[in-house]
Amino acid sequence: MNLCYPARFEPQQPSGFFVQFIDFDNAITQGENIEECKANAQEVLSLVIEDMLEDGQEIPTPSNSADAFLIAPETLIQSKILLSWLKKPKNIGYKTKSPSLTQLDKAAKAMGKQLVLSIE
């Protein structure tokens, strides 16, 4: 399951870009260039999702969008999303704020998935 969320980068005058996520109305940022926008987008996406998780809100699955940049939240936030999608996290021994790889593997298997790590 890919946890990259689509974001649109709109050019601004006289320079820079406005960034808005398709799946989160309140996840917006900006930057002077694409690389700065990507870094800022990951940061704001992670913060918005973390707040939603703390408030007990449901995290949407990423939309499909061919005309957007795909941004992944920080790794720890990705693990929290995965665990939040389980109906009963206690079944995999999730009791800490930072789940272990073993807990993530159990969570993936409970969802009928396989845990895959990559460095991009």
Domain total of the chain: 1
Q: Is 52 part of a structural domain of the chain?
A: yes
Q: Is 119 part of a structural domain of the chain?
A: no
Q: Is 117 part of a structural domain of the chain?
A: no
Q: Is 77 part of a structural domain of the chain?
A: yes
Tens of pLDDT, residues 31-84: 999 999 999 999 999 999 999 999 989 999 999 988 999 999 998 898 888 888
Which position has the higher pLDDT, 109 or 81? 81
pTM to 2 decimals? 0.76
CA atoms within 13 A on the CB side of 9: 20
- Kindly report the CATH number assigned to the domain that includes residue 74: 3.30.160.250
Q: How confident is the model at residue 118 (pLDDT cuts 50, 70, 90)?
A: low
Q: Is 14 part of a structural domain of the chain?
A: yes
Instruction: Determine the structural domain holding residue 55 and report its residue range.
Output: 5-110
Q: Is 21 part of a structural domain of the chain?
A: yes
Q: Is 118 part of a structural domain of the chain?
A: no
